[in-house]
């Protein structure tokens, strides 16, 4: 479903909700969390039916299958745009050289929030480089969702639960915003 609780078209990402006869009644001794995650099911004719908000980002494929794309917990706002980091990771993961990708929003300098992509290459794969990553992502995503930096890592830091520890990902070395794009001279008197 989209943010307004409406079904999304095939191919468009939305939050995965689960419902049906086997759905739990809620969290034990956690009424606030139950109210947040277990919502009334507007699509069921059964009185009292509810849906569980998984917090997962998914989409229907053309063949009818549901494709998991990441977590909604990883939603950030960068330069006024609300961005689902899982969407960017999903696109990067489709590149044949990528074993796994993780994207985070970093603010190493106050007021300079930017997207950084960390990735592990498949065994024997050659790193195509930052320009090629930008081109590849640009074929599938809008400009505001393309990370400003790409960092290859041999291994990702992990939490005790064996999930990527996003807070422990290293700061990119030598980041200089003025080098993000090549210089282009003013094109008119107004641009001087």
Q: Domain-by-domain residue ranges, the chain?
A: 14-64, 70-171
Question: In the beta sheet, which residues pair with residue 117?
Answer: 103, 150
Q: How far apart are CA 100 and CA 120, in angstroms?
A: 5
Residue that wins the pLDDT comparison between 166 and 175: 166
Model pTM score: 0.62
Confidence of residue 27 (pLDDT cuts 50, 70, 90): confident
Q: Angle at Cα 67 formed by Cα 66 and Cα 70, nearest 5°? A: 130
- Name the CATH code of domain 14-64 (choices 1.20.210.10, 2.30.38.10, 3.40.220.10, 3.30.70.890): 2.30.38.10
Confidence of residue 65 (pLDDT cuts 50, 70, 90): very high
Secondary element (H or E) of residue 137: helix 130-138
Find the mean pLDDT for residues 15-27.
91
Confidence of residue 177 (pLDDT cuts 50, 70, 90): very low
Find the mean pLDDT for residues 162-189.
73
Confidence of residue 178 (pLDDT cuts 50, 70, 90): very low
**Equal fold, 14-64 vs 70-171:** no
Confidence of residue 189 (pLDDT cuts 50, 70, 90): confident
Specify the CATH superfamily of domain 70-171. ANL, C-terminal domain (3.30.300.30)
12-26, 83-97, 163-177: which has the minimum mean pLDDT? 163-177
Query: Of 73, 74, 76, 85, whose CA–CA distance to 146 is shortest?
Result: 85
> What tokens appear for 119 in the block?
């990735």
Query: Is the distance from CB of 103 to CB of 118 less than 8 angstroms?
Result: yes
């Amino acid at each position: 479903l989209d943010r307004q609780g409406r079904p999304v078209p095939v191919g468009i990402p939305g939050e995965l909700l689960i419902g049906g006869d086997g759905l739990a009644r809620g969290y034990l001794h956690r009424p606030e969390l139950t109210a947040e995650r277990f919502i009334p099911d507007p699509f069921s004719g059964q009185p009292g039916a509810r849906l569980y908000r998984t917090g997962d980002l998914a989409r229907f494929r053309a063949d009818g299958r549901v494709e998991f794309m990441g977590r909604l917990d990883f939603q950030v706002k960068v330069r006024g745009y609300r961005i689902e980091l899982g969407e960017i990771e999903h696109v990067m993961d489709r590149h044949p050289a990528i074993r796994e990708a993780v994207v985070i929003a970093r603010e190493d300098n106050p007021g300079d929030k930017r997207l950084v992509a960390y990735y592990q290459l498949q065994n024997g794969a050659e790193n195509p480089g930052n320009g090629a990553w930008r081109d590849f992502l640009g074929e599938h995503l809008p400009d505001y969702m393309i990370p400003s930096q790409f960092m290859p890592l041999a291994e990702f830091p992990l939490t005790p639960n064996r999930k990527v520890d996003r807070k422990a990902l290293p700061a990119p070395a030598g980041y200089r915003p003025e080098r993000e794009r090549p210089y282009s001279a003013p094109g008119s008197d107004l641009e001087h």
